[in-house]
Amino acid sequence: MRNSRQGQPDRILHPVPDLLLGQAAALWRAHFGGWFWPRRVDAAHGLVAVDAGGRVTGVMGLRDGVGGFGVGRPLWPGWLYRPAPPTADLVIDGLAVIAPRQGTGRALVAAARQAAARTGRPGLRAEVRARNRGALAFYKALGFVPEGCGRYGLPWWGQVHLLRLAVPPAGDDR
């Protein structure tokens, strides 16, 4: 059965407007780190989905060579964290939605793909924990392909899959 909101995508805004930054940060932090994650976020490195009532329904952090959505140092020691191999791609730095299977995640990925094309990035990369089967299936359904696997991030995260989606050049509507 089709969900009532499918086909009616939320508005996707980039950068995240100041008025929505608190809501977006709270949703992102709740899914990706809680109290020990950086307290500030960078609006320019985020996308936000907003419903007709102006409420945040999803958020996606983006990371590049300049920075990511989370700003500042987390509370764990830096030597614990192992970054994934460098890439020219725009990296999805976390995707969180209020209600799964409503099209919000898909709309955020489409907007990130457009942002990558506008900035000349060759692709999008998602770094997904191996035990997150739902996220792995989601990205596969969107056309992401495996690029590698390793022990990136924090030690207790386990294996992390590197997934990639090629981005057509700006102006190419493929």
What pLDDT, on the 0 to 100 scale, is given for residue 2? Answer: 45
pLDDT confidence band for 124 (50 / 70 / 90): very high
Give the separation between CA 48 and CA 19, rounded to whole angstroms.
11
pLDDT confidence band for 6 (50 / 70 / 90): low
Question: How large a percentage of the chain has pLDDT more than 70?
Answer: 82
Give the separation between CA 58 and CA 142, rounded to whole angstroms.
17
Superfamily of segment(s) 11-166:
Gcn5-related N-acetyltransferase (GNAT) (3.40.630.30)
What pLDDT, on the 0 to 100 scale, is given for residue 148? Answer: 95
Per DSSP bridges, beta strands 123-129 and 90-97 are parallel
Strands (E), the chain: 11-13, 40-41, 46-50, 56-63, 70-71, 90-97, 123-129, 145-150, 160-166
pTM for the structure as a whole:
0.88
The residue-averaged pLDDT of 69-89 equals: 75
The residue-averaged pLDDT of 102-130 equals: 96
pLDDT confidence band for 1 (50 / 70 / 90): very low
Q: Where are the domains of the chain?
A: 11-166
What pLDDT, on the 0 to 100 scale, is given for residue 67? Answer: 87
- 130 neighbors 161 (Cβ within 8 angstroms): yes
